Structure 1
């Protein structure tokens, strides 16, 4: 290595160091933020520049489309009046489920070699359970299969469900007559019996707030038993009705036949009277056609 090479080598390292370090860096202390509904959410964004003294800070919300939250030193749309910024860290007050999503913090340093730095922060707004909708029938026939449904569409994270009969939790053992799915809230009966009669309600919980349940509803099991006397009576009645129908058809057909036969005989006599022509008298109708010489 020559003297010139030795003298230029530190200069090259210095240039390389400046090239690498002369860029804006953007970081966050908490990339995933979870807060309860109607509380404040702090979205951390910290930056460091090498040369720029007045960087440009912007916040965007990413969904199907990218929309500005903080632009040109001001908050936009629904964020006006309920958001503030300190450096690049943004605070949203009174957040709701609509505020959940992915936010992007961008810092532009025009005098740095790499002028743009960005970081993503995901905000999840937790919503406590609401009273679920419950599908409990008022009456079921004994021996039939049955499904009851329970659903809370508003809770975040999604709720899990428990069923109660007469304010006692239903067992989830596999050998019993029913099954409970805590994720979907479905209660299934293979074949309902008289012992399944009672008041049913469903409870939703997700660990965010207090569990909520729907209003209990009483389900009655109706009996469907065959009564031998009733069956015999129905059978006899059906037989008599059929017999009456057959007899009526026969009488109707016989009446029509007699009527038609009587009518046929009368028509024959009438035709005999009207169509009879007595033979002509040969003497009265004789005409002289030729002379005879005696």
Structure 2
């Protein structure tokens, strides 16, 4: 199947014919949710050694066993990672580096959505802190390993970060990113965190694309996963209101394999070698809003994120 024939129904297995990741190592965050587990299974199915990460240690064991059953001989390792706790991020990165000389793929898949107002252990608004800052620190700590992976294999390493078309609703508020002076809005907070995912991708590509590490942001589509566990009936009504111009958005839900397909395609497709920094959707190159792709905003977010995670 050629990439120009892919679409919303494309699954993980559809994008993998001809792909061989034997000898390459992938790290996937949030594997105990639907998309993360399927992404990990798909990468393992074509030979990758996969490092599974999530907060729930028992859940990690369950996912690892499911992958071993689905993919006999799969090489999977588990590392506990709580993205809402920077000390956990640092410990996880250290454990990953200690166990693997090089990394080839980092899939920043984990996330929270529309949560009640909470702060992370380090005092950040929960959605921005988890979806962006936790992944930012993990990525920054693993960049040397990703560079080593590219040097070892002669093939570019990739950082794939799951964003969302929800980013369209709001850019990052650089003056008050953690709702310290403004009233909390769960929908705005989620949108800001998803814009941050795209901005991080833009700056990652600028900084490291020429050194063999390419970055991509992904809109997976709307899927029925545990990501929506915090949503009430009122929240669903608000989502319907916000998506009034796209009535099919909440009715044509993707399957888990279809939802994970764009992440797997972003991680493996040779067609994307010259497209680093792109925003991807439905296994194709999409378009993010200007507030999420502005190079100056991307650089500013990087500096803000460095200060927050120092």
Provide TM-score, normalisation by structure 1.
0.22
Quick check: which one's helix share is greater?
Answer: 2
- Greater relative contact order: 1 or 2 (C-alpha under 8 angstroms, separation 6 or more)? 2
TM-score calculated relative to the size of structure 2:
0.21
Larger Rg computed on CA atoms: 1
